[in-house]
Amino acid sequence: MATATQNQALPEIATLQVRHTSNVRRFWRSFRRNKVALLGLIIVMLMSFGALFAPIIAPHDPIDQNITGARLRPPDAEYPLGADELGRDLFSRLLYGARVSLVIGLVGETVSIAIAMLLGSLAGWYGGWVDDVIMRLADIFFAIPGLMFLIVIVSIVEPNPITIFTALGLIGWPGEARMMRSQVLALKNLEYITSAKAIGATNRRIILQHIVPNALAPMIVLATLGVAGIILSESSLSFLGLGVQIPFPSWGTMVFNGQNYIFNAWWYAIFPGLAIMIAVLGFNFLGDGLRDALDPTQYR
């Protein structure tokens, strides 16, 4: 009897595997047609590669000073992007700064998306007073200017990486929580959820095994866009002197320091500013491409 049941299940499993493979191919076919999305993917990959292999690629130590021999040195063979007022190689500092930006962007967005998925799931699934409390809390965070909130937090508490991660994660969750809530509301009344309830599945099991996996696609898109926003916010904090502190190289700090030499050492502020712009554009392009590729309405 068991063998017969297993034999009947084999075709269904094979059908699901074929369908999954077809969805992956369809996603990749749609994604690669979007040239802007491919450009964003290339930018993110190059940025990640440079950050990961910075010790190998960087021609100089990012904190080594050479005031007498390379102070405000223009770009040349030894210093590809020039040097700063302390004779430090800008190219090496940009590579190590990419590490800071990526880590803060990814960890900060992980904090934000975790809060959003937890609160959004609870609000959408239970509704009632739970939904009202969570959504009113989200409205309060929406009403607070993000940059002002960050400045207050890092001014009260020492601006170390943990503080920055937490502060950046706290300002990004309301919009993502609303998206998660809408996904839960759309999924909770579907037939397979009703069937799971009928066989006695707990709310926790339904949310974790059925709701969350099916709501991941739009959340991944929001997370990709959120990383770009966090990188920009961290650069703004560093520009104001409230972000990553010395000795860690930060793109925002480099722009802030370089503005004092903009007329006689233009490369000092221009190259870090371009790095911020390209990184933010790369993640935005990638997020837009993922959104289009994961949109089921574009498929027949």
pLDDT at residue 297 above 50? yes
> Is this model's pTM higher than 0.75 or not?
yes
Q: Which of 9-18, 117-126, 140-149, 220-229 has the lowest mean pLDDT?
A: 9-18
pLDDT band, very low/low/confident/very high, at 200 (cuts 50, 70, 90): confident
pLDDT computed for residue 154 by the predictor: 77
pLDDT computed for residue 10 by the predictor: 43
For residues 119 and 181, what is the distance between their CA atoms, to the nearest angstrom?
A: 8
Q: Which of 81, 54, 58 is nearest to 70 (CA)?
A: 81
Alpha-carbon distances of 148 from 136, 223, 239, 240, 256, rounded to whole Å: 20, 22, 14, 12, 19
pLDDT at residue 113 above 80? yes
pLDDT band, very low/low/confident/very high, at 18 (cuts 50, 70, 90): very low
Q: What's the mean pLDDT in 70-90?
A: 88
Q: Which among 27-36, 39-48, 194-203 has the top mean pLDDT?
A: 39-48
Chain mean pLDDT for the chain: 82
pLDDT computed for residue 8 by the predictor: 46
For residues 81 and 290, what is the distance between their CA atoms, to the nearest angstrom?
A: 33
Alpha-carbon distances of 102 from 108, 245, 282, rounded to whole Å: 10, 16, 12
More confident residue, 69 or 59: 59
Q: What's the mean pLDDT in 86-93?
A: 90
pLDDT computed for residue 93 by the predictor: 92
pLDDT tens-digit map of 219-261:
888 888 888 888 888 888 888 777 777 667 888 888 888 888 8
pLDDT tens-digit map of 47-58:
999 999 999 998
CB neighbours of 54 closer than 8 A, spacing ≥ 6? 92, 95, 96, 98, 99
CB neighbours of 225 closer than 8 A, spacing ≥ 6? 283, 284, 287
For residues 83 and 74, what is the distance between their CA atoms, to the nearest angstrom?
A: 7
Q: What's the mean pLDDT in 95-114?
A: 88
pLDDT at residue 263 above 70? yes
The two tokens of residue 160 are: 């170390």
pLDDT at residue 42 above 50? yes
More confident residue, 23 or 153: 153
Query: How remote is the C-alpha of 82 from its chain's centroid?
Result: 30
pLDDT at residue 133 above 90? yes
